[in-house]
């Protein structure tokens, strides 16, 4: 609840939240992967 | 652009953009820096120098409707702190990008053209010029 | 940061105002929230433009595309992409008198607030913390209602003409004499609309070659009136006397731009209570400055008349000042008298001049008699001319409720803005989503509050605004503060330092 309030996802429709969360997760995944490869 | 924390948020936004691009596995560091520079300048050009008016109703009988964000800032007063900050930031980003692309010629041309697109509209001589 | 008083000797009581600065971390997260909403706003516009998403908005037909656009596309961006998402918090229909408690008409929306439907149910006895009802005169029973009913039978509801033609009734004369007595000025004039009292009379008072010094947070009616007047407008920082004095000095030293002729007149526009900030004007200092620099003072007491001062005489009474020091006393009957309309009070020649030059007295139909009667009755009650102490009791009740409620919220850790004696209590929410969440959660707890966000407030200062009333009982206020606390814990709203 705090997460959707702070990021204002609270005001978005479910499908918009899904878009945002999938982008966030994919970017985080890419960052972890690239960080791992880089290390 | 004068309210508290907006400059910090803007710099964090550039940093976040760079980290997102950096996390693309197959992108090299020079490409990432050039992309950061170009995307930042593109967004800045669109938001500050292309879109006109305000995204909400203003009580000034739509006087601001034909002005860009850059022209509306600080009621049109030139050389304010916000204007200086928004002028210097793309230049610093450009210098950093040139350094990280090892002054490669192709990158240099792309980055220079991109920088000019956000510096020229900021000149006081071009205030209100279409 | 507490705005310390620079000239404490001018004040007859401690003047404490608090405006805690937005924490940097919260400010950055607020911008992040607006950034995400803007990005999704552009995405939605894109989908609407390409017909992927149904567009509920009013738009030109294809045949009209070549004409000048009727609907300002970008100017509507914020309304359709941010406000729409949480607009169920605003314009809620009520089906009772907006007193201490009210009944809300329940409504739902199947398409994310584009359209609403009534469910047929009524949410009963919602504690009303949103209405301006400082002295609790918003009642449909009691002396005011009876006298208003009587005058409806006697005069009818409307007046079909303007004051300068057939619309000047004896009840208006009686009202204006009473208002003049209440304010302690020579003469006064009443208007049927509060907003118009400002926007239509300032152009009669100032014009080309005049300078208007306006507080940056002045109400839209003052801004509109100043703009319509054609005078030069300069804005000083909110309630900041250093900024005001600097503008006054510059105005007198440099005169008009280019010609440097002296200004014909300098008019200072301030409000008694700023309804979004909860702050009270530093009137003693403003009067000292106006006397020193020979400027005129226009004081808008829309919220402070009836709500401040031992006699309810507004901010002049609150500071114990002489009403004659204020050149133009303006105020409205909406907030403390359970009525509508506005008044201007001052010297006789000023009012006579306005009677013949004001847009409202020439074009606007006169104030409705039942409304005038409501004002007369409630004002007499406040002045104690009805042989009861009801007015004094309500004034005392409002003052106690205000101090009690503010202190309670502050003890709980909320960030409260404004003056300790102001019945308008802004509570800071900051992030855009918390505006919608707080409003909804409070209605679930049977409390009606007003939530306000950008662009009506600075972008990082969204807030809920409680309006305390004399009609609120102590346990109502306790209920509101406890339930706000549960909301606040659930949403983790920022705690005050």
* Predicted ipTM of the assembly: 0.95
Assess whether pLDDT exceeds 60 at residue C1. no
Task: Tell me the pLDDT tens digit for each residue of C336-392.
Answer: 999 999 999 999 999 999 999 999 889 999 999 999 999 999 999 999 999 999 999
Taking the CA of residue B26 and the nearest CA in chain C, the distance in Å comes to 26
Taking the CA of residue A21 and the nearest CA in chain C, the distance in Å comes to 12
Q: Which two tokens stand for residue C358?
A: 């004001």
Assess whether pLDDT exceeds 80 at residue C413. yes
Other Cβ atoms closer than 10 A to C474: 12
Q: Which of B4, B15, B16, B62 to mutate to test the interface with C (most CBs of C within 10 A)?
A: B4
Task: Tell me the pLDDT tens digit for each residue of B67-110.
Answer: 999 999 998 999 999 999 999 999 999 999 999 999 999 999 99
Residues of B in contact with C459 (CB under 8 A): 3
Determine whether the interchain pair B62/C79 forms a contact, defined as Cβ–Cβ distance below 8 Å: no
**Measured distance CA(C92)–CA(C440) in Å, rounded:** 11
Q: Among all residues of chain A, which has the CA nearest to that of C82?
A: A11
Give the CA radius of gyration of chain B.
16
What's the whole-number average pLDDT of chain C? 93
User: For residue B125, what pLDDT is reported?
Assistant: 95
Q: Among all residues of chain B, which has the CA nearest to that of A30?
A: B23
Res. C305 pLDDT band, cuts 50 70 90: very high
Residues of C in contact with B59 (CB under 8 A): 220, 223-224
**Measured distance CA(C251)–CA(C246) in Å, rounded:** 8
Residues of B in contact with C224 (CB under 8 A): 59
User: For residue C199, what pLDDT is reported?
Assistant: 95
Q: What is the dihedral of CA C445, C450, C451, C456, to 10 degrees?
A: 180
Query: For residue C111, which of C55, C65, C157, C72 has the smallest C-alpha distance?
Result: C55
Q: What is the mean pLDDT of residues C204-226?
A: 95
Taking the CA of residue A27 and the nearest CA in chain C, the distance in Å comes to 16
| Cβ of residue A15 closer than 8 Å to a chain C Cβ | no
DSSP A1-31: -HHHHHTTGGGS-HHHHHHHHHHHHHHHHHH
Assess whether pLDDT exceeds 80 at residue C71. no
Q: What is the mean pLDDT of residues C88-116?
A: 95
User: For residue C2, what pLDDT is reported?
Assistant: 45
User: For residue C4, what pLDDT is reported?
Assistant: 54
User: For residue C69, what pLDDT is reported?
Assistant: 74
Q: What is the mean pLDDT of residues C9-38?
A: 90
Q: Which two tokens stand for residue C461?
A: 């200062």
Q: What is the mean pLDDT of residues C400-409?
A: 95
Task: Tell me the pLDDT tens digit for each residue of C134-192.
Answer: 999 999 999 999 999 999 999 999 999 999 999 999 999 999 999 999 999 999 999 99
User: For residue C259, what pLDDT is reported?
Assistant: 95
Res. B63 pLDDT band, cuts 50 70 90: confident
User: For residue C405, what pLDDT is reported?
Assistant: 96
Query: The whole model's pTM is what?
Result: 0.90
Give the CA radius of gyration of chain C.
24
With contact defined as beta carbons under 8 Å apart, do C196 and C344 qualify? no
Q: Which two tokens stand for residue C427?
A: 């509570």
């Amino acid at each position: 609840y705090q997460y959707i309030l702070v990021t204002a996802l609270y005001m978005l429709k479910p499908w918009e939240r899904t878009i945002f969360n999938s982008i966030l997760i994919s970017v985080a995944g890419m960052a972890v992967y690239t960080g791992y490869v880089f290390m | 652009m004068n309210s508290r924390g907006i400059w910090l948020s803007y710099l964090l936004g550039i940093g976040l953009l760079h980290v997102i691009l950096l996390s693309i596995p197959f992108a090299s560091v020079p490409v990432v820096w050039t992309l950061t520079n170009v995307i930042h300048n593109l967004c800045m050009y669109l938001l500050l120098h292309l879109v006109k008016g305000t995204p909400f109703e203003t009580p000034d009988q739509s006087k601001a409707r034909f002005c860009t964000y850059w022209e509306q800032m600080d009621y049109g007063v030139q050389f304010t702190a916000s204007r200086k900050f928004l002028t210097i930031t793309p230049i610093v980003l450009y210098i950093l990008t040139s350094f990280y692309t090892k002054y490669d010629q192709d990158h240099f041309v792309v980055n220079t053209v991109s920088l000019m697109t956000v510096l020229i509209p900021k000149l006081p001589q071009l205030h209100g010029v279409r | 940061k507490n705005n310390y008083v620079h000239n404490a000797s001018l004040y007859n009581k401690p003047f404490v105002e608090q405006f805690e600065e937005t924490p940097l971390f919260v400010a950055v997260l607020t911008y992040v929230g607006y950034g995400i909403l803007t990005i999704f706003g552009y995405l939605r516009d894109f989908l609407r433009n390409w017909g992927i998403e149904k567009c509920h908005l009013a738009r030109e037909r294809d045949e009209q595309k070549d004409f000048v656009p009727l609907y300002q596309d970008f100017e509507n961006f914020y309304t359709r992409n941010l406000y729409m998402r949480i607009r169920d918090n605003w314009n809620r229909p009520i089906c009772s008198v907006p007193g201490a408690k009210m009944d809300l008409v329940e409504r739902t929306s199947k398409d994310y607030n584009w359209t609403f439907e009534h469910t047929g149910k009524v949410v009963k006895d919602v504690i009303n913390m949103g209405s301006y009802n400082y002295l609790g005169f918003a009642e449909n029973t009691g002396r005011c209602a009876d006298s208003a009913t009587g005058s409806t039978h006697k005069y009818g509801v409307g007046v079909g003409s303007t004051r300068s033609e057939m619309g000047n009734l004896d009840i208006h004369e009686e009202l204006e004499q009473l208002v003049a007595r209440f304010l302690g000025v020579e003469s006064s004039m009443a208007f049927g609309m509060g907003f118009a009292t400002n926007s239509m009379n300032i152009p009669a008072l100032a014009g080309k070659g005049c300078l208007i010094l306006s507080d940056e947070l002045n109400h839209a009616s003052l801004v509109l009136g100043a703009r319509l007047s054609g005078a030069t407008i300069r804005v000083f920082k909110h309630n900041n006397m250093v900024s005001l004095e600097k503008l006054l000095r510059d105005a007198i030293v440099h005169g008009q731009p280019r010609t440097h002729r002296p200004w014909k007149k300098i008019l200072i526009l301030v409000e008694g209570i700023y309804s979004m900030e909860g702050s009270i004007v530093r009137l003693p200092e403003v009067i000292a400055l106006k006397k020193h620099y020979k400027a005129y003072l226009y004081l808008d007491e829309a919220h402070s008349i009836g709500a401040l001062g031992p006699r309810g005489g507004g901010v002049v009474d609150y500071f114990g000042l002489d009403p004659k020091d204020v050149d133009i006393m303006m105020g409205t009957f909406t907030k403390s008298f359970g009525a509508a309309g506005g008044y201007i009070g001052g010297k006789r020649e000023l009012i006579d001049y306005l009677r013949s030059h004001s847009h409202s007295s020439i074009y606007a139909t006169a104030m409705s008699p039942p409304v005038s009667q409501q004002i007369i009755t409630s004002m007499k009650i406040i002045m104690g001319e009805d042989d009861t102490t009801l007015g004094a009791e309500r004034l005392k009740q409002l003052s106690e409720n205000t101090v009690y409620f503010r202190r309670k919220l502050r003890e709980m850790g909320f960030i409260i803005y404004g003056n300790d004696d102001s019945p308008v209590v802004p509570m800071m929410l900051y992030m855009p989503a918390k505006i919608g969440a707080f409003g909804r959660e409070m209605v679930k707890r049977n409390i009606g509050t007003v939530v306000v966000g950008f662009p009506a407030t600075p972008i990082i200062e969204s807030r809920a605004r409680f309006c305390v009333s004399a009609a609120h009982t102590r346990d109502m206020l306790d209920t509101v503060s406890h339930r706000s606390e549960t909301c606040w814990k659930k949403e983790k709203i920022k705690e005050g330092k």
